[in-house]
Amino acid sequence: AKRIAEGPKRGVSADQLPLLRAELLDEVEQVRQQVGDIAERLDFAERLLAKNRESERLAPPRGS
């Protein structure tokens, strides 16, 4: 990611392109995995919040 943020490299030879492509594909796969993990955590947190809100709504009033 740092390499991408720095911008394109000058003077990259044609024989280096397959290696750079492979590196980029690896980085994309890592980002996809991280996004998937974050999506799972978000779904879990949303379910917990919804469950908590539903139980509060269905619970009898406190102090009665």
If the chain, 64 residues long, is cut into consecutive pieces of 10 residues, what is the mean pLDDT of each piece?
Answer: 68 90 98 99 96 79 68
The continuous run of DSSP H or E covering 18 comes out as: helix 17-58
Residues 6+ apart with CB under 8 A from 23: 3
- Whether the pTM exceeds 0.75: the reply is no
- Residue position matching structure tokens 């994309």: 28
- CA–CA distance, 8 with 12 (Å, rounded to integer): 9
CB–CB of 1/23 below 8 Å?
A: no
